[in-house]
Amino acid sequence: MLSTVTTPTSPADAAVLDALAPEGGRPDGGSDAAETAVRIMVAAADAFAERGFSATTTRDIASRAGLSPAGVYVHFASKEVLLFELSRRGHLRARDLLVAAARDAADPTEALRAIIGGFSRWHAEHHQLGRIVQFEFRHLGPEHQEQVLDLRREIDGVVADVLAAGVASGEFDVEDVRGTALALLSTAIDVARWYSPGQRRTPESIERLYGELAVRLVRRHAG
């Protein structure tokens, strides 16, 4: 809702760590260098989501990660590079989620429900990372913006493809495919802005509602 207050995000959610950790399961404890890098990323994700990129100091990130201010620079060349790494990993995870959901669905209707519901749920569960991904984009340097834009175009493409497939099969009745895709993505993305944990709506209920609304929006009107 418009009136939802953005509460300070609680530190070090398992969800954030989950979305940042490397692909394969850790064999034992993991190397200390890589572990520290992840701890810095989690700390930065917390701080950026709570205060925004520009209002976050490197000292704040360092102390949340249990390091001295200089310790961050052993693992990341600058605050901007740290933002880019968070943004890149966040986009990758979100894209993989969408691609898998679209691939596994039986028909365009179920595909649309799965991708919009899933994307909405992702922005709730990973609302810290989601905020960074969606709202701190402008603080990336030009070449990092370009790399992120490539990933965004992939995400847009998945949604547009599902809509086009539904129109082709006759399940959907959509005049403006790209405009409708834009509106659907907006509902999911905006979840990251208003969601905060511990409120009435859960990621699961958001997934259900938003998946259903997406299907309602595009279905052929039998009347």
Q: Are 192 and 131 in contact (CB under 8 A)?
A: yes
Euclidean distance between CA atoms 8 and 5, whole angstroms: 9
Q: Are 66 and 91 in contact (CB under 8 A)?
A: no
Site for DNA in 71-100 (CB under 7 A): 71, 73-75, 77-80
Cα separations (Å) of 128 from 15, 18, 189, 196?
9, 12, 12, 9
Question: Locate tokens 């802005």: which residue?
Answer: 193
Euclidean distance between CA atoms 130 and 136, whole angstroms: 10
Residues 114, 8, 68, CA angle at the centre, nearest 5°? 110
Contact between 36 and DNA by CB under 7 A: the answer reads yes
Contact between 34 and its own copies by CB under 8 A: the answer reads no
Site for its own copies in 121-160 (CB under 8 A): 134-135, 137-139, 145, 149, 152-153, 155-156
Cβ 127 to DNA shortest distance, Å: 23
Cβ 26 to DNA shortest distance, Å: 16
Contact between 51 and its own copies by CB under 8 A: the answer reads yes
Contact of residue 52 among its own copies, DNA, none (CB under 5-8 Å per partner type): its own copies
Cβ 93 to DNA shortest distance, Å: 24
Query: What number of CA atoms fall less than 13 Å from residue 143's CA on the CB side?
Result: 1
Euclidean distance between CA atoms 135 and 123, whole angstroms: 12
Contact between 179 and its own copies by CB under 8 A: the answer reads yes
Contact of residue 10 among its own copies, DNA, none (CB under 5-8 Å per partner type): none
Cβ 76 to its own copies shortest distance, Å: 20
Contact between 143 and DNA by CB under 7 A: the answer reads no
Binding test (CB under 7 A) with DNA, winner from 30, 69, 141, 179 = 69
